[in-house]
Structure 1
Amino acid sequence: MANLIASPSGPLELLTALPSSPDNAIPPVLFLHGAYCSASCYKAFLPFFASCGIATYALSLRGHGASWKPSWFKLMFLTTLDRFPDDVECTIAHLKERRGKVPVLVGHSFGGGILQYLLCSKAIHAPGLVLIAAALLTGGGKYIIGKESKRRMVTRGPGVYDPSWKLEQVRNVFFSPECLEEVVQVWLRESKLQYESARAGLSVLWPFETAEGVLGALDGLPETGRMVLCLSGKRDLLVTTEMVGVNADAYRAADNGESVIMEAAIGTSGRHLMLDVAREECAQVIMS
């Protein structure tokens, strides 16, 4: 179910899947998409988590999906990394009012970067954090613009900022070869954004927050305590399993023994783990 919730800047799209018999003791889950995407990326995830008794939501940031749209110039050049967390903060307040609890936060790619930035820069605490091929706290610039990354992107398809993506090129870069054509078509039709904030995107190429700050904002889950899960797809060409390991290592180095820092790599998946052939495995790993 899709709803629009109010924010000080404009309406935000929030996809919702509620269990038939919700357990109010279990915190809800809020999913956040990456760059050039929308909440629609999580359509396959939402009913799965709802079937497990968890109230589940996916947010489209400003300029994405059915959320309010800044002008092209404002989105590209005036929307900074500081602005997107405002949308997430508003959504968390909405869910806390509705469900009585702050959600577990799950972010893919740039969305994972926004969540890490949010937890450090805002007076917000969350029960737990899941990072799916997320932007690195230490900055991903030296990896993304490296020679090997360039070679793979050139030989497999267009770069991530190419607005002229075609179906096969998109499959080559963002999905596994086995992914069904219809899945890629749905992403192109429902989720792909032609333009993204240049200023915000560049911000995560350099160090933008600290693992200590993120861990300090996690309150933990009742049975397991404070947890961070770092997920990757072994066929991801942009944020590789090795890069995700660097982020996980940063959390381990910052932890004082009070947290559980976990890594998991989905072997058959490309960049869009929540849509690719291994999406059920990815959902199961998050659930477990």
Structure 2
Amino acid sequence: MPFGPFTLTWHSPTPNPPNGTPLPPGLTRTTIPTPSGPLELLSALPSTPLPSSAPPLLFAHGGFGCAEIWSQYLLFFAARGYAAYAISYRGHGKSWYPGFWGMYFTSRGVLAGDLVAGVREVGRLEGVGEEGVVLVAHSAGAALSQYVLSRGMVRVRGFCMFGGVPGFGSVKVYSFWSLTAPIHFPYRLFHPRYILATTQQVRDAFFTKRTPLALVKRLEGLLSPYESMLWPMQMLPRVVTGPDVLASIVGWRPRASSAGKAGGVAPRLMVLAAEHDVLCTPAISLDAAQRYRGAFRALVAKKELDGISAKNLRTEAEEGGKWDGVGFKVVPGVAHHMQNEEDWERGAQEILRWVEDLRA
């Protein structure tokens, strides 16, 4: 193996937080002050905002990610009238960094606090409160978001699992590395980036084989130098029930009925899977969506969602492949890092359609 353990980073950056790097025109970098340290917040604001019904969007990254992985999405949504934001948790991007071992044992609860700070800050900046924010979370960030919602730490207007790790147990997500991890982990002296230490490893896990090498290297340069090992370990067992997550999503309302038939309920939880994802595979994502769909119908049956009753739900025949309350879609031609692929707009368009449905 050509890359030994000491080519990896074992110390926090200097200065800490790192200096900001140039951003594309239209993006702005600010910070969220927290008791532990400042967190990076990127934003792209529309020159011509949509009506007040257009919610602000907060994009949350997964393991080793950062706010900058969402740059193209932030500009995409700002150009369509939406205020778009992305956060970097501690130890990621241009946020403050704990030391190597401090980050190694950073818990999901601590990182959850960073995510909550981001949701609340966007709600404050946009004057809508946390319940006006739509949260879009990628990979392990989606699992973190499900944990946050299940504990009632915030309430949001909509939630999208974007190539997201399910909160119902995530062991299957990491099976892609099951054969190589026992070799790479001790070889790289148990460094968290043992599975993403080379460009080829990054490509194999995150991209399709046809993705241009320049795009793979660009993402590789944005990955954090080290990561929490405790966070993903704590997310391996089931951490949500389903109803607990849905109960922290607000604004449920039925669509208008027609010809005596129920109009259904717009999905406020959306599960987007990538066709070629080898981690959060379409099958894993579909299983999560089906569990949430069952949870949604159970809440409706118990009359625990304000404004929604069983008479608003369509029969499976009437749904025509679309579900009430919970949406599911496979984005063709892309892999796990949909937002950084050459065809990144495919995922952005799916989110746009979903958000517009929320407003309808």
TM-score scaled by structure 2? 0.73
Alpha-carbon distance, 1:150 to partner: 3.7
CA RMSD of aligned residues (A): 2.1
Aligned mate of 2:81, from 7, 31, 53: 53
Structure 2 residue aligned with 1:126: 156
Residues 221 and 178 (structure 1), Cα distance of their counterparts in 2 relative to 1, 3 Å cut: farther
Alpha-carbon distance, 1:100 to partner: 1.3
Structure 2 residue aligned with 1:76: 104
Residues 152 and 248 in structure 2, CA contact (< 8 A), matched pair in contact too: no
Aligned mate of 2:197, from 151, 165, 169: 165
Residues 165 and 173 in structure 2, CA contact (< 8 A), matched pair in contact too: no
Task: Give the aligned residue type for 1:16.
Answer: S
Alpha-carbon distance, 1:163 to partner: 5.8
Structure 2 residue aligned with 1:238: 279
Alignment of 1:85-100 (within 5 A): 85-100=112-127
Higher relative CO (Cα under 8 Å, sequence separation at least 6) belongs to 1
Residues 169 and 123 (structure 1), Cα distance of their counterparts in 2 relative to 1, 3 Å cut: closer
Residues 171 and 177 in structure 1, CA contact (< 8 A), matched pair in contact too: yes
1:117-158 deviation line (CA, Å, top 9, x unaligned) = 1111134210000001211121111x1455x7646x78xxx7
Structure 2 residue aligned with 1:6: 33
Partner-residue secondary structure (3-state), 2:276: coil
Residues 274 and 282 in structure 2, CA contact (< 8 A), matched pair in contact too: yes
Task: Give the aligned residue type for 1:270.
Answer: A
**2:184 maps to 1:184:** no
Structure 2 residue aligned with 1:248: 289
Structure 2 residue aligned with 1:282: 347
1:140-192 deviation line (CA, Å, top 9, x unaligned) = 11x1455x7646x78xxx79842662223322221012212221111111x21
Alpha-carbon distance, 1:34 to partner: 0.6
1:7-50 deviation line (CA, Å, top 9, x unaligned) = 12210101100000223331100000010111111011111000
Paired with 2:330 and 2:55, the residues of 1 have a C-alpha distance of 25
Residues 164 and 274 (structure 1), Cα distance of their counterparts in 2 relative to 1, 3 Å cut: closer
Paired with 1:204 and 1:136, the residues of 2 have a C-alpha distance of 9
Residues 119 and 217 in structure 1, CA contact (< 8 A), matched pair in contact too: yes
Structure 2 gaps of 5+ residues are: 1-27, 186-191, 256-264, 301-307, 309-323, 354-360
Structure 1 residue aligned with 2:246: 215
Residues 274 and 25 (structure 1), Cα distance of their counterparts in 2 relative to 1, 3 Å cut: same
Aligned mate of 1:25, from 53, 65, 69: 53
Residues 195 and 149 (structure 1), Cα distance of their counterparts in 2 relative to 1, 3 Å cut: closer
Task: Give the aligned residue type for 2:29.
Answer: A
Structure 1 residue aligned with 2:145: 115
Partner-residue secondary structure (3-state), 1:129: strand
Residues 269 and 326 in structure 2, CA contact (< 8 A), matched pair in contact too: yes
TM-score scaled by structure 1? 0.90
Task: Tell me the percent identity.
Answer: 28
Q: Tell me whether 223-232 or 246-255 shows the greater mean CA deviation.
A: 223-232
Paired with 1:164 and 1:149, the residues of 2 have a C-alpha distance of 11
Paired with 2:343 and 2:159, the residues of 1 have a C-alpha distance of 21
Residues 116 and 34 (structure 1), Cα distance of their counterparts in 2 relative to 1, 3 Å cut: same
Residues 149 and 245 in structure 2, CA contact (< 8 A), matched pair in contact too: yes
Structure 1 gaps of 5+ residues are: none
Paired with 2:62 and 2:352, the residues of 1 have a C-alpha distance of 20
- Asked which structure has the greater CA Rg, the reply is 2
Paired with 2:195 and 2:204, the residues of 1 have a C-alpha distance of 15
Aligned mate of 1:201, from 205, 229, 232: 232
Partner-residue secondary structure (3-state), 1:255: helix
Residues 144 and 150 in structure 1, CA contact (< 8 A), matched pair in contact too: no
Partner-residue secondary structure (3-state), 1:132: strand
